[in-house]
Amino acid sequence: MLIKDGIRMDGRKPDELRPIKIEAGVLHRAQGSCYLEWGGNKVMAAVYGPREAIPRHIQHPLKAVINARYNMVPFSVSDRKRPGPDRRSVEISKVTSEALEHVVFTGLFPRTMIDVCIEVLGAEAGTRCAGLTAAAVALADAGIPMRDLPVACAAGKIDGTVVLDLAGDEDCEGEADMPIAIAPRTEEILLMQMDGHMTYQEFEEALELALKGCREVSKLQKEALLRKYETKNEVAP
């Protein structure tokens, strides 16, 4: 049983997020970076570029290529994960790159590439949302011009109830999981995927919940960037 008397196994209400911590600019060697904890997920994102796209055949004459690479380290899951890319990480890298491409002003940097490295250090469901959310903060920290700060969050269905932000067992044993990413100012959808089944009415309810989650996470992203860049008014002695 995943939900009892309206309370989930980890004590959350159906519309509640797991605790989230975001820190911008944690790596000194990368142009931009972000460390994010979202429940049991621990994610590091680093941004390099824009720099000349190599090999040259991947260059686009009119815009920068966004190259997001999602990777789960072997110790991120309970059974050691085989290192290196697999079908799942290639898919997540692709959808993340496409979502970010819609917000970055790529036209300003023709023939270049912007590398976005997403390393999942600990995984507990919802890592693609955590990764994309951290990548957005790392891009902003790198000073890459964007028309909005993208953010992601999932909603889904467990034991017949539509819930926000599925955690470990809820993701494995629940009926549906739907991660979305949006550009929060316009709430334009940048990514939408779904595992499992929901009725149309449940889908609408889940979408509304996921949007609410995105709005909450978006605030935390902005706070993290403000914390990094706020200038303290120092009073002269």
**Is there a contact between 33 and 47 (Cβ–Cβ < 8 Å)?**
yes
Residue keyed to tokens 């957005």: 136
Nearest approach in angstroms of CB 109 to ligand ADP is 29
Q: Return the number of the residue (124 or 205) whose C-beta is nearest ligand ADP.
A: 124
Cα–Cα distance for residue pair 164/1, rounded to 1 Å: 17
One character per residue 23-42, x = contact with ligand ADP (rule: CB under 6 A): --------------------
Q: Return the number of the residue (125 or 220) whose C-beta is nearest ligand ADP.
A: 125
Our finding on whether 125 is near ligand ADP (CB under 6 A) is yes
Nearest approach in angstroms of CB 228 to ligand ADP is 26
- Out of 12, 42, 102, 128, the residue judged to bind ligand ADP by CB under 6 A: 128
Residues forming beta bridges with residue 114, ordered by sequence position:
66
Residue 31 Cα to chain centre, angstroms: 19
Our finding on whether 165 is near ligand ADP (CB under 6 A) is no
One character per residue 80-109, x = contact with ligand ADP (rule: CB under 6 A): -x------x---------------------
Our finding on whether 234 is near ligand ADP (CB under 6 A) is no
Tokens standing for residue 58: 């991947």
First to last CA, the chain: 62
Burial call 139-165: b when 16+ CB within 10 Å, e when fewer: bbbbebebebbbbbbbbbbbeebbbbb
What residues line the site for ligand ADP (CB under 6 A)?
77, 79, 81, 88, 123-128, 171, 179
